[in-house]
Amino acid sequence: MVFDLANIWAELIAFAVLTYVILDGFDLGLGILFPFARTEQNRNTMMNSVAPVWDGNETWLLLGRGGLFATFPLACAIVMPAFYMPIMLMLLGLVFPGVSFEFRWRTTEWRSVWDAAVCGDSTVAAMCQGMALGALLQGIEVEGRAYSGGWLDWLTTLFSVFTGLAVVVGYGLLGATWLILKTEGDLQA
């Protein structure tokens, strides 16, 4: 049996990205659904349900990005400049919900601000992931062996915006299924 390392690595990277989408999707989905919780007790239950796994799910994203860089450096060198802005916004959107998550427990006076930050940052992260995916599916301009498009090409198509909205809705669905699985009573309903 002949093993093609490129195919094996492509499958490993695809597995890491899929695992990230599933596992971090429910985290971000809970953040997206956060303003729809009716009571403070429901918001606390939502946060407590995801607390043990909140920080660990981004590991799969790092594995996918590191695998892409290590095994397909030319593809990484072409794709990354096309998506610097949405990737930076996504990374900020992934960092700040964790910060908001920690600080909302430490204060009562600013809790509404941190609650809004959890929702906003989760939505920004999901939207940026979807917009980058939509722009990648539309295609990026390559000339020679380098990206030749503009800085905001990822934002110029309506398809990328709709793909971003679809990812936000999809992550919200993952968050809702997590709540159904992990909670009971009023919040589950």
pLDDT, tens only, 19-34? 888 888 888 999 999 8
Would you say residue 87 lies in a domain? yes
Tokens describing residue 88? 């930076």
Would you say residue 188 lies in a domain? no
* Contacts of residue 116, Cβ cutoff 8 Å, sequence gap at least 6: 35
The pLDDT of residue 113 is 86
Would you say residue 75 lies in a domain? yes
Q: How far apart are CA 157 and CA 41, in angstroms?
A: 41
Would you say residue 120 lies in a domain? yes
User: How far is the first Cα of the chain from the last one, in angstroms, to the nearest whole number?
Assistant: 52
pLDDT range class, residue 1, cuts 50, 70, 90: low
pLDDT range class, residue 114, cuts 50, 70, 90: confident
Would you say residue 187 lies in a domain? no
What's CA 174's distance to the chain center, in Å? 12
If you ran DSSP here, which 8-state letter would residue 143 be given? E
Helix and strand tally (H, E) in the chain? Answer: 7, 2
CB atoms within 10 A of CB 84: 12
Would you say residue 83 lies in a domain? yes
Structural domain boundaries, residue 34: 5-182
Count of structural domains within the chain? 1
Q: What is the pTM of this model?
A: 0.88
10 Å CB burial of residue 86 (0-12, 13-18, 19+) is: buried
The tens digit of pLDDT for each residue in 126-161 reads 999 999 999 989 888 889 888 888 878 888 789 999
The tens digit of pLDDT for each residue in 81-104 reads 889 899 899 988 888 877 877 787
Would you say residue 189 lies in a domain? no
